[in-house]
Amino acid sequence: MTIPTLPFGRSGHMSTRTVFGAASLGAVTQAEADRTLDVLLKYGVNHIDVAASYGDAELRIAPWLKKHRNDFFLATKTGERTAKEAREELHRSLDRMGVDSVDLWQFHNLSDPIAWDIALSPGGVIEAAIEAKQQGLIRGIGVTGHGLQVAATHRRSLERYDFDSVLLPFNYITMQNPYYAENFNALAATCQQRNTAVLTIKSVAYKPWKGREHTRATWYEPLQEQQDIDLAVHWALQRPSIFLATVGDIDVLPKVLDAASRFQAGPSEEQMQELLSRTQMEPLFV
């Protein structure tokens, strides 16, 4: 079963509601990456979200793009905050992926107040992004972030510049935080009014590793049982118009895509509370 599509904001692209989070390719072989492409094609996933800082991920998708560039909406990210360094990183990303342009260039984890002001002021990465858009190197400009403050920060970002997309955490346990939920809902409302795409992350986050051995490639411990992943993914997808980035581990990825392909309705509050108590889920951000 293929995954349904929706317009990705004002981009004009009908993106699958489940977007491939290419952080999962940061430390894999090319053969492993190529097997992952087969999984994406099986489910019809047509949107890749990568970043300059994701290890070898940009290099791993380069062979795919030689054959499938027209099949994917391609997004990458820069962690630089000033125009000069960001401009250099963009060209390095284009070279690594072997492409002339990307559909979306995002300011990666723009959460720190000082870095935020530098990035969105004259001489900041925003200057390089506007210039790159005029040159046809990028088509859209987005902003991403982590933490409980990020929804509020994204709201401020949209007051400073009319971004094409925002990316931030969205899962059941994070939305139990009243401050985060209030700002997420307000941000989502603004994005709907502006036709700004909302891409969410950490849908299947389980808990921090807290010193335990990392058995997955993710910096947090993900849910791993199919029934639990189903609940988490279906809970997120029941929110109209949002997109869900897949998990940063290629072995958990097929379970997330399988869940997304079977989505019809979200779970009840009772089912989600049962998941929390049964698994002893913990928030990533406190």
Q: What is the mean pLDDT of the chain?
A: 95
For residue 251, what are the contacts with CB-CB under 8 A and spacing of at least 6?
216
**pLDDT, tens digit, 9 for 90 and up, residues 117-157:** 999 999 999 999 999 999 999 999 999 999 999 999 999 99
Task: Output the CA torsion 182→170→207→261 (10° steps).
Answer: 150
Which amino acid would we find at residue 55?
G
The segments of the chain whose pLDDT lies below 70 read 209, 211-212, 215, 217, 219-220
Ramachandran bin of 98, using left for φ above 0, alpha for ψ from -120 to 50, beta for the remaining angles: left
Burial class (CB in 10 A: 0-12, 13-18, 19+), 107: buried
For residue 176, what are the contacts with CB-CB under 8 A and spacing of at least 6?
283
Element (H, E) at 130: helix 125-134
Which amino acid would we find at residue 4?
P
Tokens of 218: 């993710």
pLDDT of residue 261: 97
Using alpha carbons only, give the angle 76, 221, 152 rounded to the nearest 5 degrees.
55
**Measured between alpha carbons, how far is 230 from 254 in angstroms, rounded to an integer?**
12
pLDDT of residue 217: 66
For residue 144, what are the contacts with CB-CB under 8 A and spacing of at least 6?
77, 106, 107, 108, 109, 110, 166, 167, 168
SS3 27: coil
Closest CA to 166 of 3, 9, 6: 9
**Measured between alpha carbons, how far is 85 from 128 in angstroms, rounded to an integer?**
9
pLDDT of residue 209: 65
The CATH code belonging to domain 5-279 is: 3.20.20.100
Q: What is the CA radius of gyration of the chain?
A: 18
pLDDT of residue 219: 64
pLDDT of residue 2: 82
SS3 168: strand
Q: Helix, strand, coil shares of the chain as percentages rounded to 5?
A: 45, 20, 35
Closest CA to 44 of 17, 69, 67: 17
C-alpha 125 chain-centroid distance: 20
88 half-sphere exposure, CB direction, 13 A CA radius: 5
pLDDT of residue 215: 67
pTM for the complete prediction? 0.96
Element (H, E) at 190: helix 178-194
For residue 112, what are the contacts with CB-CB under 8 A and spacing of at least 6?
none
**pLDDT, tens digit, 9 for 90 and up, residues 230-245:** 999 999 999 999 999 9
